[in-house]
Amino acid sequence: MSQNLSGKVVLVTGGAKRIGAAIARQFHASDARLMLHYHTARAEAQVLQAELNGVHPESVATVQADLNRSAALPEIVEAAVTRFGRLDVVVNNASTFYPTPVGSITEEAWNDLMGVNVRAPLFLSQAAAPYLRKTGGCIVNIVDIHADRPLKDYVAYSVAKAALVGLTRSLARELGPEVRVNAVAPGPVLWPDSHAFDELAQQRIVSHTVLKRVGAPEDVARAVVFLAAEAPYVTGQVLAVDGGRSINL
């Protein structure tokens, strides 16, 4: 538990389930207040909100938005500031992930994958920047090993995550010294809901880790909280939480 987060306000996109929910719980355990963004996962968001508010009343609020709707991005930030009076941390966690092999890539898929994975973090961060400057806050982006090592048949997704790594480093230069910007690159922690990887593919991926096991969402969440609360001299960096997979391929 970090005492540095007591009373701070954290916005987590895609915060209703999976890794986003683990990140939300980890910040909340450090006495932060939360604005949880969701798109379609209303039921999950409400259950998580009720769970956490049961521990600390009125500490968690939710906001619904389609991250591909540009006008919604400043509205998300304003919702957090209006509700809690400040903003200290933005976690750009929300993502879309599905195959786009060459020959089948459509403009719609390109716009969706680039929109949620890159455009939304950019414009959400831009809207949040004035508030983060006031509080000496930070941004943490969730990226992917496939930013550096493209995943076959996932052209648009791989390009989008590569762009998000570049955005992380560029924003670190643009927003410093007041605001730090870093990223976390998870390894095999949760398999996609789409069942994109069968059991054999999962075993192959895990075998490439140095630790020879799957990680937990909490491993990623702890890294995000570390960058937000315990790393005041770290900016523009990507922290791999992947069991050593990125050094063993």
Active-site option among 38, 131, 154, 157: 157
Please say whether the beta carbons of 68 and 120 come within 8 A: yes
Q: Is the pLDDT of residue 1 over 70?
A: no
pLDDT digits (tens, 9 = 90+) for 233-246: 999 999 999 999 99
Confidence at residue 23, expressed as pLDDT on a 0 to 100 scale = 98
CA nearest 14: which of 105, 57, 76? 76
Q: What rounded mean pLDDT belongs to the chain?
A: 96
Confidence at residue 2, expressed as pLDDT on a 0 to 100 scale = 59
SS3 139: strand
pTM attached to this predicted model: 0.95
Please state, in angstroms and rounded to a whole number, the distance separating the CA atoms of residues 27 and 116: 23
Q: Is the pLDDT of residue 194 over 70?
A: no
154 catalytic? Reply is: no
Confidence at residue 169, expressed as pLDDT on a 0 to 100 scale = 98
Q: Is the pLDDT of residue 175 over 60?
A: yes
Task: Let me know if 151 is exposed, middle or buried by CB neighbors in 10 A (0-12, 13-18, 19+).
Answer: middle
If you average pLDDT over residues 202-213, what whole number do you get? 93
Q: Is the pLDDT of residue 32 over 80?
A: yes
Which domains are delineated in the chain? 3-247 (3.40.50.720)
